[in-house]
Chains A and B, each alone.
Chain A
Amino acid sequence: MRSLAALLLLTLPAMAEVGPERAATLEHMLIQDCGSCHGLTMRGGLGSPLTPDALAHAEPDGLALIILDGVPGTAMPSWRPVLSEADALWIANYLKEGAE
């Protein structure tokens, strides 16, 4: 039920909800903290590669849900205590587009 509610929320145009300051924080967090497992260049480590190629067939909404809820049975934690839904969707889109 919670995931359904999350999914509904995520269908909102969330990109607009992340201001430039928050975006900078999220970018730093993505590179440094997500990079601990996925690599600074997102080519993978203990975690899967998150390059645009690797995510070519993933939907941003789905990625955002994985970020928020984690993947049971793996080392991917739920980031819901730290990130809002808008944050997660911003990160999903950022990964899809690829860091510069």
Chain B
Amino acid sequence: MLVKFFATYRQIAGCKSCDVEAPQDVLALMGVLSERWPEFRNLILNRDGTDKGDDVIIMVNGRHIEHLDGVATQLTEEDYVAITPLVAGG
């Protein structure tokens, strides 16, 4: 499955996107990303690793996970995920 990085997360990942083998759900995916890029750990996960951090936006197929099943949102190889720090503009 495709994982896209936006804003300053690109600097951490060193790429715009990457392919990963789809884990079971979003929480597991964040674990995979934190393992590959340890700097992500404190940014995208909360302190005890049970939920996403406060300042990260995660979208699965363009839908915020808040409107799906949160970090329990199930993933398949056909899904695409975007993660970005909280940013704004206008």
Q: Do A and B come from one complex?
A: no
Interface residues of A (CB under 8 A from B): none
Interface residue ranges, B against A (CB under 8 Å) = none
